[in-house]
Amino acid sequence: MYWNLLLAHFIGDFLLQTDWMVQNRDRFWVLTLHVSIHIGAMLLLIGDTRSEYWFLIILIALIHFGQDALKIFFVRKLPRWSVPAFILDQILHFSIIWAFVWFYSTGIGKLVLIQKTNWVIYGISYIFVTFVWFITEKVIFQQNPDRIARINETKYSRMLARSGMVSVFLLLRTWVFPGLAIVLPNPYFSTEYRKQFLLTDLGVSAFAFAFLFWALG
């Protein structure tokens, strides 16, 4: 179940969270909308067990709401700490999901664990190398407006390139067709950050492949 909930988190926190939502999450109703998207994604991805464990989803969502509210307040007071706050926030989200799944599966022993499915693992990996990394990179380099501009300009081409890289890595193991790799050179020849972007994307894609190799056993 952990992987399903982690995929739901990636969908809610990165794939379906727009710039407008990020900029307005200090409003109660916008933060509520953000958390509601998380609830919907989690309920959808836990399948038939949703009728039994909806309370677990609501509890995770309430903690998510409180955690995001604290992060917003903290960053508003100490904006220079926004990058560590972002990283810590994500670590806590991952840890809280893991802790609840562990508690309900070993502490109570009644949690029906969803069988791990390959498409969930692939989904986590490809969302990670696309939207998750795009947003993470923007947070890390938010004090460098020129680099942020280049990151935005090459958003989709680099997403496709990283997806292509992961597909190439997978070719060695599962013979996934690496057609997306054809776009690999395009984002890197048109910007002064080509070397940094290429090395970064290779590293991120290699990390995603290592995760796939480990998670798929």
Q: Where are the domains of the chain?
A: 2-115, 119-215
pLDDT at 207 over 80: yes
Residues 137-145 have a mean pLDDT of 93
Distances (CA, A) of 9 to 13, 36, 44, 67, 205: 6, 12, 12, 14, 20
Helix (H) or strand (E) holding 207: helix 194-215
Reported confidence tier of residue 178, pLDDT bands at 50, 70, 90: very low
pLDDT at 179 over 60: no
Lowest-confidence segment of 25-39, 58-72, 194-208 by average pLDDT: 194-208
pLDDT of res. 174: 53
Q: Could you tell me the two tokens for 111? A: 């949690």
Distances (CA, A) of 124 to 27, 83, 120: 29, 22, 6
Helix (H) or strand (E) holding 35: helix 28-45
Residues 106-116 have a mean pLDDT of 57
pLDDT of res. 170: 74
**Would you put residue 107 in left (φ > 0), alpha (ψ -120 to 50) or beta?**
alpha
**Ranked by mean pLDDT, which of 103-112, 128-137, 179-188 comes out on top?**
128-137
Lowest-confidence segment of 113-117, 124-128, 209-213 by average pLDDT: 113-117
Report the predicted TM-score, pTM, of the whole model to 2 decimal places.
Answer: 0.85
pLDDT at 100 over 70: yes
Provide CB contacts within 8 A for 97, sequence distance 6+: 2, 5, 6, 9, 60
pLDDT of res. 201: 86
Q: Could you tell me the two tokens for 145? A: 């407006």
Rounded to whole angstroms, the Cα distance separating 32 from 150 reads 32
Q: Could you tell me the two tokens for 155? A: 């958003």
How far is residue 48 CA from its own chain's centroid? 24
SS (H, E, C) 108-133: CCCCCCCCCCHHHHHHHHHHHHHHHH
pLDDT of res. 176: 46
pLDDT at 212 over 90: no
